[in-house]
Amino acid sequence: MTDLAALDADAALLAILGTDEGRADPYPHYARLRKVAPVHHSMVGAWVVSTFEASQVVLRDPRFGKDFTAQAQRFGLSESDMEQLLAFRRERRTMLFADPPDHTRLRGIASKAFTPRTVEALRPHVERLTHDVLDDLADAADPADFMATVAFPLPVTVIGELLGVPTDDRPPFQGLVRRAAIALELNMTPEQMVDAQAATMEMEAYFSDLIAERRRAPGDDLLSALIGAEDDGQRLTEMEVISTAILLFGAGFETTTNLLGNGLLALLEHPDQLARLRRDPSLVRPAIEEILRYDSPVQMNGRIALEAVEVGGRLVEAGAAVLTIIGSANRDEARFVEPDRFDIGRDEGPSMSFGSGIHYCIGAALARMEGQVVLGALLDRFGRIELATGTPPYRNSLTLRGLAELPLHLEPA
């Protein structure tokens, strides 16, 4: 790679990480990265991979792992800050940041609640819950905020019921999870790191108390199953139970919330596709897949090279952190025809929005089902759905991409 290409790639990366405009619309900068340096040793020290094929290699090859070092590479943290982040995470090992055999053990216990058959059995209940939140949306003052009325309450209810978190305890978790999730962002500040850890510890205290209750009186929920697996000798420590519960609860609503908001916005910004879906409701399944590809709720994922590996013609040295840009891979011209075109009938195979390899999202089937149910019911219920403002604001984050609000004008069908 020429020095000019490396500078060009770093400029694109800086725009994504360092500017509000770049975070609001990173896709032109992703395209620049794919063109000038698809596998780039960046100014932040990590390798940045932006194409579909190279990202698949990194996420699937067992020579890349989830060692904490890869997750500690941050644009705004000093070496001492990163070491403090490492120490915090070492005490809280979850499947998100674990390699086999720990990952295999933790995922195996939780995965039973998320099989396609188990998820499909939940569909009628999710349909009833969706009817309730759409009642709330219909009754809301004009304009109605889809994010606050539907996109958060529905997923948090579904995952809350699965895990066994009481109804009255759920609302504060939106703020707590978002504060804690800042730790996934590449441009986290030292102050945000401290706040993210405080939010994590607040959730730990809550789940520690809830676990104690479930030990005294087990229920028919996933948290009780996690406790039982520990008691059955599968070696889940108390902290592993707590950390896994926090991961499943937070990931179970945050990414689905973003899927619902990003998806409805994409349809409203492409009225021809919205009209097409109204004419042919059977397109709801491919529509959800296209929404995931077009504006993925998760934009980035990290790994570390456990040994030297060649990726896209570049040698990634052992111990190097590697950042795969999923949002870019999903717009790769070498993988998708006219990737910047939103097409709900697209049939070119799955995107990378749920990752790949052994860390493929455990809740993918649940997120897809919730998206299908909500989108279908929304179009049945409302004959007019229009943006109440110009382009609504995205939250100031990049790894987890979602709207801050989505105000709508609505009329019943």
* Residue pLDDT, tens place only, 362-391: 999 999 999 999 999 999 999 999 999 988
Q: How far is CA 55 from CA 69, 241, 255, 282, in A?
A: 19, 31, 20, 31
Where is average pLDDT lowest: 58-72, 275-289, 399-413? 58-72
Residue 92 pLDDT class (50, 70, 90 cuts): confident
pLDDT > 60? residue 300: yes
Per-residue pLDDT of 101-157, as tens digits, reads 888 888 888 887 888 888 999 999 999 999 999 999 999 999 999 999 999 999 999
**What is the 8-class DSSP label of residue 298?**
B
Tokens of residue 294, six digits: 């077009």
Residue 409 C-alpha from the chain's centroid = 28
Q: What is the mean pLDDT of residues 327-332?
A: 98
Identify residue 174 by its one-letter amino acid code: Q
Provide the residue count of the chain: 413
CA distance 155 to 260: 10
DSSP track, 30-70:
HHHHHHH-SEEE-TTSSEEE-SHHHHHHHHH-TTEE--HHH
Query: Do residues 327 and 34 touch, judged by C-beta distance below 8 A?
Result: no
Exposed, middle or buried, 91 (CB in 10 Å: 0-12/13-18/19+)?
Answer: exposed
Which residue in the block uniquely carries the two structure tokens 């090859």? 61
Please determine, for residue 316, whether its predicted confidence score (pLDDT) is greater than 60.
yes
> Helical H runs in 217-312?
222-229, 238-269, 271-279, 284-294
Residue 234: the pLDDT is 62
Percent pLDDT > 70 in the chain is 95
Question: In which residue are the tokens 């305890």 written?
Answer: 169
**pLDDT band (50, 70, 90) for residue 253:** confident
In order, the DSSP letters of 365-382 are HHHHHHHHHHHHHHHHHE
* Three-point CA angle 46, 50, 56, nearest 5°: 95
Query: What pLDDT score was predicted for residue 69?
Result: 53
Residue showing tokens 């149910």: 373
Site of tokens 């009186």: 217
Structure tokens at 312: 């896209």
pLDDT at 125: 95
pLDDT of residue 246: 92
CB-CB contact of 288 with 345 (8 Å): no
| More confident of the two residues 235 and 60 | 60
pLDDT category at 74 given cuts 50, 70, 90 is low
Determine the Cα–Cα distance for residues 355 and 4; give it in Å rounded to an integer.
31
**Whether pTM exceeds 0.95:** no
Are the CB atoms for 322 and 49 separated by under 8 Å?
Answer: yes
Closest listed residue to residue 401, CA positions, set 326, 304, 322? 326
Nearest to 189 by CA among 303, 74, 268, 85: 74
Tell me how far apart the alpha carbons of residues 59 and 121 are, in angstroms, rounded to a whole number.
Answer: 30
Q: What is the pLDDT of residue 112?
A: 78
> Mean pLDDT lowest for which of 86-90, 203-207, 208-212, 336-340?
86-90
The pLDDT-based confidence of 66 (bands split at 50, 70, 90) is: confident
How would residue 89 be classed by pLDDT, with cut points 50, 70 and 90?
confident
Give the tokens for residue 147. 């994010």
Which residues make beta-bridge pairs with 382? 412
In three-state secondary structure terms, 411 is strand
Amino acid at residue number 194 = V
User: How would residue 233 be classed by pLDDT, with cut points 50, 70 and 90?
Assistant: low
Which residue bears the tokens 């705004």?
A: 76
Confidence of residue 75 (pLDDT cuts 50, 70, 90): low
- Mean pLDDT (the chain, rounded): 91
State whether residue 167 is helix, strand or coil: helix
- Chain centroid to CA 350: 16
pLDDT (0 to 100) of residue 190: 85
